[in-house]
Amino acid sequence: MQVREVGRLPNQLPADDDHPYRTGAWRPQFVEYDADELDVVEGAIPPALDGVYLRNTENPVMPAIGRYHPFDGDGMIHSIRFANGRASYRNRFVRTTGLAAELAAGAPLWAGIIESPEKSLRPDGWGARTRMKDASSTDVVVHAGRALTTFYQCGDAYEMDPTTLAQHGAAPWVPAGGISAHPKVDPATGELLFFNYTTTAPFMSYGVLDRDRQLTTWQPIPLPGPRLPHDMAFTPRFTILNDFPLFWAPEQLAKGIYRPRWRPDLPSRFAIVPRHGGDVRWFEAEPTYVLHWINAFEDGNTVVLDGYFQEQPVSPPDPADGPYGGLRKMTDLHAMRTKPHRWRFDLTTGKTTEERLDDAVTEFPSIHHARGGQRHRYVWSMAASVGWFLFDGLVRYDLETGQQQRYKFPDGVYASESPMAPRPNGTAEDDGWIVTFTTDVRNDRSECVIFDAAHVDAGPIARVALPARISSGTHACWAPAGTLP
Ligand SMILES: [Fe+2]
């Protein structure tokens, strides 16, 4: 492996840090590398694997003002480019406006999501919560040849080259109010669909960017009050947005307290919005909260939506978990009991039907990207460690036969979100690979690990060494070679 250190930010965290999400698999990384001719430590990189795997991670540079939540950390993007059976790697901090301001000040300026905005030292900032730093550490997608990083609380979209990670800064097309994480690229049209949410009316807006990065649609989606949507879905004709009964309590919000409250007395509401704007159809369903959608598609005049139903969106902290008990419950998929679920919205009758697809706790899905908005058969999901926001396994669902395959990573090895990378010119929906980065706490190293998408239970077909151990984080994506600049 040829490795060059190309950048480094000073670690200003406490030397005796005991925060569970700044240590172990979440230990932040501060060095930026260019690495070529990566060493293959097991198996072989499939010669046909051609594209880039991008991973966003959480790397707080400054100590927190008050309490730290893992989603406050500064974004660092990792890119691995595969071609002709070889691999190159780059990693870079997302050079956000907020990070630059804190580096210039030599101190943190904004309080994170579980602190009061009044503790922020700056009156301005980003986020639906307001007075936050836009860390751009949540999500990454590739649209119109550029990687876009986004922040779940809404902020800018930072643009960079998906392979070299050369940075182009904040995208000029982002409307006032910012963009949420989880914009969606429709592979059929090359459009980018996105939304934002705010504490002021209309509380949510929806937009479409065409394949040339021109804003073609921008429409308010009025809600009864401030809400906390996280993800969206689409079909060829419709975009699906949501209003779940988990939101900042209005009477507390009036006092400047941003504490999500679960309201199981209220229904879940789904907005079916025409792709390029128009009258919104609302559907009601069982109360829940959903972090991530698997996919949506049209079945005649019915919109079908798959995602992860939370059986218990909010859990009381467990005193046995110590001072971080609340935080641990907040980030534990097993406490939320996130289960794959299908909603069907009948556009003729206005009725919703829904069913559980499996009773196991999984989340962070991937499908064959060309199936986005079309009927899908296979879903690859992450399994999580109990009590932790850490992925310790892969689950492959065949929705046609009901069969499952599972793979469990070795003890102390945690994976990243693991997208499906289709074989170029392949025809079967599961013809391709699953790509992930691992953080191996016991051996203090990271690897890129590749599975046959049709046989994840058979274990990795290749393991590729990375130059340094990476932090854990939230989202990742696969960009096929044809989508790269
Ligand atoms: Fe997310």
CA of 352 to the centre of ligand 1 (A): 25
Percentage of the residues of the chain whose pLDDT score is greater than 90 = 98
Q: For residue range 371-425, list pLDDT tens digits in order.
A: 999 999 999 999 999 999 999 999 999 999 999 999 999 999 999 999 999 999 9
CA of 181 to the centre of ligand 1 (A): 7
Q: Which two three-digit tokens encode residue 300?
A: 């005649």
Q: Which two three-digit tokens encode residue 333?
A: 């998929």
CA of 230 to the centre of ligand 1 (A): 6
Helix (H, G, I), strand (E, B) or coil at 25: helix
DSSP track, 58-82: E---SPPSS---GGGSPEEEEEEEE
Angle formed at CA 331 by CA 329 and CA 334, multiple of 5 degrees? 70
Distance CA 134, CA 256 (A): 20
Whether residue 137 is predicted with pLDDT greater than 90 in this model: the reply is yes
Q: Which of 138, 54, 48, 80 minimizes the C-alpha distance to 478?
A: 54
CA of 2 to the centre of ligand 1 (A): 33
Over range 71-84, report the average pLDDT.
98
pLDDT band for 317, please (50, 70, 90 cuts).
confident
- Any idea which architecture 2-483 has in CATH? 6 Propeller (2.120)
pLDDT band for 182, please (50, 70, 90 cuts).
very high
CA of 30 to the centre of ligand 1 (A): 23
For the chain, give the mean pLDDT: 97
Helix (H, G, I), strand (E, B) or coil at 136: coil
Q: For residue range 321-343, list pLDDT tens digits in order.
A: 888 999 999 999 999 999 999 99
For 11-20, which contacts have Cβ atoms below 8 Å and span 24 or more sequence positions?
Answer: 11/61, 12/61, 12/62, 12/63, 13/60, 13/62, 13/63, 14/63, 19/68, 19/324, 20/324, 20/327, 20/328, 20/388
Cis peptide bond prior to 14, omega within 30° of 0: no
CA of 152 to the centre of ligand 1 (A): 7
Host H or E run for residue 326: helix 325-330
CA of 364 to the centre of ligand 1 (A): 8
CA of 63 to the centre of ligand 1 (A): 24
Q: Which two three-digit tokens encode residue 285?
A: 């369903």
Rg, C-alpha atoms of the chain: 21
Q: For residue range 428-438, list pLDDT tens digits in order.
A: 999 999 999 99
